[in-house]
Amino acid sequence: MKLECLTCHGVYDDAHDGVRYFHVCPSLSAAELAAAVAAQRVVLPVDPATGKPETPDVAVLRRSYTRANRRDERPDPAAAAVDGVHPPIAAGAGTTPRPDLDVAAALVTVDLSHLPPAAPAVP
Amino acid sequence: MTAATDYDTIERRNPWPGGSAIRVTGEDDLRLTVLNGLAGVTVVVRGRVLNCDGELIPFEQKLTPTTDRLASTVTVRLSEGWLVQAHAFVSAGSPLVGQTFALLSVIRGDAAAAIDLFTLAAGYVTATQRASFPSGGVGSSLRFDGAIRSITGTAPGAGAEISETVPAGARWDLLAFFTTLTTSVAAANRVPALFLDDGANVFIKSSQQGNQIASLAWDYLWAPGDQSQAAGNRLIVTSSLPVPVRLGAGYRLRTNTTAIQAADQWAAPQYVVREWIEGS
């Protein structure tokens, strides 16, 4: 089933090859961190090399900025299992089905049986 | 010959050729433990016990394991006598070697309080490959060939980076990692790199060689042993990784794009790994 994570808005298939896929929200990108800095959600430290606040491009190389309420679908072995299944590490904001979006390449079958044979190449 | 005489005979010597049978009292049971990553799998354990009357009693028990690679178990109650044969195999589903690992052990006690007394057999199981006692042996889940998987990851939101996490209970060899970056109209020279980390600490950074400017869709490939090549006009950029790239549970494969813009869009990555059950 194709799902959209309502925390990071990533889109994924939870079992496209028959093996369960465990989505984990990514750390903030430089663009997302720049938006967070502009919205005063985080303050970047002073870069000793420049004496000015780090740029987001530099900051994401030095540490991981994890989004609040991130989703982590991996099973939490420390939590009690329900019917033999462990709950996720973090549910985040949840997911919503997105059957309209293709994540993996789709296979398309084309019937060529009624086409005339190709003309031989002329030297 | 009376039943008592049979019992005495069974008590005195191992009744099975080669002496391979295991004496089990009425308190001993057989446990099947399965670690599995594939949906729709059922594992069955079958075998025979030679009871104190000299009769061979067959048994069977089925287990539908969870798909999170954590242990699922089922217990087979054994009558007193000799456990002479047992094997586990897949009766439903089509796992590859590397996806469903089975372990047979003799236990004593109930449920979570049960203690493993002896391991009879351990190995990956499929419909045709079995974990068997007495002939199968006990193997590590990391000793065999892994399962080759082609995984479609998460297409991140606009302006976000790709991040794929090795699931709990798995070990991966990364064989190839392919994706596409479509840049927005915002002017900037994007330079993607693939970072590998242990969940926090980066240990490999593999940067691409070209600058991707605005309004382009370029394919990116990272593969062990591949040769790094700038884009030129081919719209595909390749970069190398060490051989092998072995990743434990919780390790991440993630892009880091210098000068990424808010409306830039990474496609869902397609990557190929060799996977084992870690057995942790």
pLDDT tens digits along A9-59: 999 999 888 899 999 999 999 999 999 999 999 999 999 989 999 999 999
* CA–CA separation, A51 and A46 (whole Å): 6
Inter-chain CB proximity B39 and A20 less than 8 Å: yes
Amino acid identity of residue B39, one-letter, is A
* CA–CA separation, B264 and B162 (whole Å): 12
Which of A19, A23, A55, A70 is the best residue to mutate to test the B interface, defined by the most B CB atoms within 10 Å of its own CB?
A19
Interface residues on A facing B, Cβ-Cβ cutoff 8 A = 5, 8-13, 15-32, 34-35, 57, 60-61, 64, 74-75, 77, 84-86, 101, 103-105
pLDDT of residue B110: 79
How is A23-83 classified by DSSP, letter by letter?
-BPPPPPHHHHHHHHHTTS--PPEETTTTEEPPHHHHHHHS--PPTT--EEEE-TTSPPBT
Q: Is the per-residue pLDDT at A66 higher than 60?
A: yes
List, in order of start, the domains of chain B with CATH numbers.
Answer: 3-133 (2.60.290), 147-277 (2.60.120)
pLDDT tens digits along B6-31: 555 555 566 666 668 889 998 999 99
Sign of the CA dihedral with B200 first, then B206, B211, and B213 last = negative
Of B38, B70, B152, nearest to A77 by CB-CB distance is: B70
Instruction: Note whether ipTM > 0.90 here.
Output: no
Q: Report which of B45, B36, B114 is spatially closest to residue B83, judged by C-alpha positions.
A: B45
Residues of A in contact with B270 (CB under 8 A): 104-105
Inter-chain CB proximity B163 and A31 less than 8 Å: no
Residue B26 touches partner A, C-beta closer than 8 Å: no
Query: What is the 3-state composition of chain B as percent helix, strand, coil, each rounded to the nearest 5?
Result: 5, 50, 40
Q: How many secondary structure helices (H) and strands (E) does chain A include?
A: 2, 7
The tens place of each residue's pLDDT in chain B, 280 residues long, gives 444 445 555 555 666 666 688 899 989 999 999 999 999 999 999 999 998 888 999 999 999 999 999 999 999 999 999 999 999 999 999 999 999 999 999 999 877 788 999 999 999 999 999 999 998 888 889 988 899 999 999 999 999 999 999 999 999 999 999 999 999 999 999 999 999 999 999 999 988 877 899 999 999 999 887 776 665 555 667 777 888 899 999 999 999 999 999 999 999 999 999 999 998 7
Strands B236-241 and B217-224: parallel
- Return the structure tokens found at B265: 């869009």
- In chain B, residues 184-203 whose CB comes closer than 8 Å to chain A: 200
Phi, psi of B47 (to 5 degrees): 180, -170
Show Cβ contacts of residue B119 under 8 Å, excluding neighbours closer than 6 positions: B103, B104, B105, B138
Q: Which long-range contacts (CB under 8 A, 24 or more apart) does B220-227 make?
A: B220/B178, B220/B179, B220/B180, B220/B181, B220/B192, B221/B176, B221/B177, B221/B178, B222/B176, B222/B177, B222/B178, B222/B194, B223/B175, B223/B176, B223/B177, B224/B174, B224/B175
